Amino acid sequence: MVIETNNITKFYGKKIGCKDISISVREGEIFGFLGPNGAGKSTFIKIMTGLLFATSGTAKILGKPLNDISVRKRIGFLPENFKYGEWMTGEDLLSFHASLYKLDKSIVNERIKEVLSLVKLTGHEKYKLGTYSKGMQQRLGLASALLPDPDLLFLDEPTSALDPIGRKDVRDIMTELKRRGKTILLNSHLLSEVEMVCDSVAIINKGSVVIQGNMEELLKGQEKLYIHAEDINEEIINTLKKIDENLVFENNRLSMKVNGKDDVHRAASIIVNGGGKLYELKTQGTNLESKFISLIEGGDKK
Chain residues 143-202 in contact with another protein, contact rule CB under 8 A: 144
Contact 172, 188 (CB under 8 A): no
Site for another protein contains 97 (CB under 8 A): yes
Site for another protein contains 85 (CB under 8 A): yes
Applying CB under 8 A, among 52, 196, 268, 278 the residue interacting with another protein is: 52
Strands ordered across the beta sheet of 248-250: 248-250, 253-258, 223-230, 277-284
Applying CB under 8 A, among 13, 15, 87, 110 the residue interacting with another protein is: 87
Applying CB under 8 A, among 7, 56, 99, 192 the residue interacting with another protein is: 99
- The residue (of 10 and 182) whose beta carbon lies closer to another protein is 10
Residue range at the interface with another protein (CB under 8 A); choices 18-26, 49-57, 247-255, 276-284: 49-57
- The residue (of 71 and 177) whose beta carbon lies closer to another protein is 71
- The residue (of 129 and 225) whose beta carbon lies closer to another protein is 129
In angstroms, what is the minimal distance from the CB of 185 to another protein? 13
Site for another protein contains 44 (CB under 8 A): no
Site for another protein contains 127 (CB under 8 A): no
In angstroms, what is the minimal distance from the CB of 85 to another protein? 6
In angstroms, what is the minimal distance from the CB of 144 to another protein? 6
Contact 27, 7 (CB under 8 A): no
Interacting residues with another protein (CB under 8 A): 12, 43, 46, 49-53, 69-73, 75, 77-85, 87, 96-97, 99-102, 141, 144
